[in-house]
Amino acid sequence: MKLNLEDRLTVITGAARGIGAAFAEAFAAEGARILLVDRDAAVGDVAGASGGESLVGDLSDPAFAGSIADRAAELGGADILINNAGISRPAPLPGTADGDWEEVMDVNANAAFRLTRSLWEQLSARSGAVINIASFAAKRSTLFGGNASYVASKHAIAGLTRAAAFEGAAAGVRVNAIAPGVVATEMIKLHDGPTREKIKSFIPQKRFADPGEIADLALFLASDRSRHICGEVININGGLTMD
């Protein structure tokens, strides 16, 4: 069975680099039309390489979700939404500033809620799919602690996924989430060699995921081949978390 993603408008947030850019490349290769969103203007380069469009803006701004929905409607309506944008502000819980907590929750969780809400009618009309990007931290904590705001935001994504999936099942919208482990993006390179090796020691497969592996799972969840999968938060982490 083919993926049948040709001409399906796919909205991807956090698409300027890393996993988001891998999503853009993979969906474009399957013939999907893409609308990429990021606060980094470099998203325009990714869109150009993938033959898509881009919007630059701050997802923590509630009004921006409406702008994205308006542009998607002008393009014929969204078929697929990938809520990938995320940030991290690591700090021990007693030292976590209110502003950092609120920023992480705004970008990681609130923006996903607002954009899903704004695109819900379009997705319902087109039997669409929502794919939220959670984390292994949505099922435990981070490996070394010291990041309560990020962990809480990813648990919120898991809860949003299940709640939206329950309502979406009757509305014609399939909602699932991907929970990656440690992915070989620019962020992991911020750690020194010994730290990277220590992180690998927690992973039974002893390697980091390639961004393309996460994109492959997203393609499956967006396609009709996964039409009976509903409300799942799916691990892809080399055995780091099993459930």
Residues carrying an active site annotation:
150
Number of H helices, E strands in the chain: 8, 7
Closest to 83 (Cα-Cα) out of 123, 46, 49, 50? 123
Report how far apart, in Å, the C-alpha atoms of 81 and of each of 34, 71, 102, 115, 170 are: 10, 13, 24, 9, 18
Whether the Cβ atoms of residue 113 and residue 60 lie closer than 8 Å to each other:
no
Q: Distance between CA 179 and CA 139 in Å, rounded?
A: 9
